[in-house]
Chain A
């Protein structure tokens, strides 16, 4: 009965979205914009969603949601164009696609590669959507039992795990970034006592730092500086005749699709790490499990399919913790959360009470967006790839202007502009020193949740930390947090190695294996 009920309301949701011509126009337009955004090297899905957010302050929540999700789906897919045709990933999400996509293009099979990525991205998005709609109610049921302690730990867990997994240099650089983000979130009046923290009597800081300017600065400015500082030669896109859906090849690669989609959803649902990591991991797994790993990197169809399925499946995955717990699963999802908050929608376990049918509406939009993406990909790719001829040196300064006007138009506040550029320049230096930016942004977004819940929890327990050890979910989160931290302490690392060596009966490894 439940399933039929869900199905009926899903159909109604779909119908309600389809009935409005404005929504359809927004859907197709935003998807196309997303594909273009994704295809242009230097413009990321996160930046696309962030810039589009600034245009959706005034529109109804549903329309805003359609625009942003379509942008997200389109941009993650669009990155493959540049990867395949000019061997420069359009977005980080498609970096792994270039490894086999470009060799295919060199062989004159660019059209086939694009057809494959189009269908693979479509199937990936659909898979993520199905998991989202099946899993979310279960997680919400569980999350409704959560108390403030769990939410406090979840926020910490999110920052820690995102910092751990997205750091390329030292793991604790990710944590530092996360804590800088948390610190930024404390600026302004605290929400329980209204005490001004770190405002230094600047009245603009009273309300706290706005999320949108911070995100535009953190993701936009470093990107602009990086692209312009390093001279990027304008590449000539490879030619291709036409794009077919390649259903036959897809069917032959069904096992890659299923595996990659699962990997994508899984990685997406981990807080703060997103499409890029999903693409790489999925590609790596495909190569390592292949019977002929040597063909990877020379135009292996399975490689292209794996990374492109996973990065789009990641979208549905990233939305799961976003909707059920209020914790974004990927950087674009973080931006989406910021946008939802502007529309007074607070994702979390209460979402279905506050906004009945929200999850199904989201699912309907995802379905329509992936359909639009597929249709546009098959029919318009030839026109869209013309944007690859645009010189980055000209459009990046225009993006800077968009970041400026976008930060300003929220609340018509020039202060947000100053904030955006300051955050952007700091973020540039941080990225140069290999600090990941997504933990910082997650920190800014989750900070208020962590702060409020910690104090609320302690109020209920009257200052006792005992519930942390008595509640099963708390204990689990606590153990994971402690293990994550311990795994980075050199002494613990060595002890663990000695232990595993002894257990497995191996000879002790060389001490220089330690990565410290």
Chain B
């Protein structure tokens, strides 16, 4: 970031921080000052508000200084253009890549991990994510991101409308089976997109191996090594459990 862009950013963060510190101070003012939590009379210096008041105060001063400095160096000018329709329609490559990364991270953490079997969720995150950046071809990046975006929207709608929980209640794998099919379809589709470029084909293979091996390894290591219950255990976890049960020596 060059200095001008930095001051423009400072101008915006200055305002955000001022708002935040005022909010901190407002919220703190609702804390008991001279009475304690239990309602007993108390003194100001034992109040739980004391420390947040100091922090909010200092933060307010510092953000005003930040804002003042930004204005003095011209940071308040020329910042409005950042949200013009033209820039929204044709974002820079940096923005596209950043947006894609954010999409994958958010979809993985907020949608996949809590509601889908850990190994399956991780594959659905890892494979398109790593492939997009390793193969590094804009069309693949875009198509993979669209798949994940579509999937996230569908999942979000199903979860918010209550269809997901109800369906899972009647049949545990109601959504995991379609997702497992998707997990097979995505690599097949990606392989067709890549065509017969030997370098990219090699990268595809490496990504595929890593995306299959690491979720499985992590799942087994955490589940059976460290005995950590996975956030959601479904298809793969049950399969692993079934296999373990099958091979378990009787009486052990």
8 Å CB interface, B107-130 against A:
108-110, 113-114, 118, 122, 125-126, 129-130
Give every chain A residue within 8 A of B50 (Cβ-Cβ).
Answer: 454-455, 458
Candidate in A192, A228, A451 with the most chain B CB atoms within 10 angstroms: A228
Distance of A391 Cα from B206 Cα, bound (Å): 10
- Decide if A421 touches B106 in the complex (CB within 8 Å): yes
Give every chain A residue within 8 A of B104 (Cβ-Cβ).
Answer: 397
Asked, given contacts A401-B126, A409-B228, A455-B46, whether A393 binds B114 with beta carbons under 8 Å apart, the answer is no
Query: CB of A404 within 8 A of chain B?
Result: yes
Distance of A182 Cα from B228 Cα, bound (Å): 31
8 Å CB interface, A166-197 against B:
169-170, 172-173, 175-176, 179-180, 182-183, 186, 190, 192-195, 197
- Decide if A172 touches B65 in the complex (CB within 8 Å): yes
- Decide if B226 touches A193 in the complex (CB within 8 Å): no
- Decide if B59 touches A183 in the complex (CB within 8 Å): yes
Give every chain A residue within 8 A of B44 (Cβ-Cβ).
Answer: 463
- Decide if B231 touches A183 in the complex (CB within 8 Å): no
Give the nearest-CB partner of B221 in chain A.
A55
- Decide if A401 touches B122 in the complex (CB within 8 Å): yes
Q: Which one of B31, B55, B66 contacts A182 once the chains associate, using CB atoms below 8 Å? A: B55
Distance of A95 Cα from B154 Cα, bound (Å): 45
Q: What's the interface size class on A, roughly?
A: 35 or more
Q: Which one of A182, A221, A433 contacts B105 once the chains associate, using CB atoms below 8 Å? A: A221
**Nearest CB of B to A223, in Å:** 12
**Nearest CB of A to B225, in Å:** 9
**Nearest CB of B to A425, in Å:** 7
**Nearest CB of A to B69, in Å:** 7
- Decide if B214 touches A417 in the complex (CB within 8 Å): no
Residue-wise, chain A 190-217 has the 8 Å CB interface mask toward B (1 for contact) of: 1011110110000000000000000000
Beyond A397-B129, A408-B113, A409-B228, 4 extra complex contacts between A and B, CB < 8 Å = A172-B66, A193-B36, A195-B36, A398-B210
A residues near B, CB below 8 A? 55, 57-58, 169-170, 172-173, 175-176, 179-180, 182-183, 186, 190, 192-195, 197-198, 221, 224-225, 228-229, 231, 391, 393-398, 400-402, 404-405, 408-409, 412, 414, 417-418, 420-421, 424-425, 432-434, 450-451, 454-455, 458-459, 462-463, 516
B residues near A, CB below 8 A? 1, 6, 9-10, 13, 17, 24, 27-28, 31-32, 36-37, 43-48, 50-52, 54-56, 58-59, 62-63, 65-66, 69, 94, 97-98, 101-102, 104-106, 108-110, 113-114, 118, 122, 125-126, 129-130, 133-134, 136, 203, 206-207, 210, 214-215, 218, 222, 226-229, 231
Q: List 6 A-B contacts (CB under 8 A).
A: A195-B37, A195-B48, A398-B130, A409-B228, A433-B10, A450-B51
A-B interface, 8 closest residue pairs, ranked by CB to CB distance from nearest:
A458-B45, A190-B48, A393-B133, A393-B134, A451-B51, A195-B48, A397-B130, A195-B37
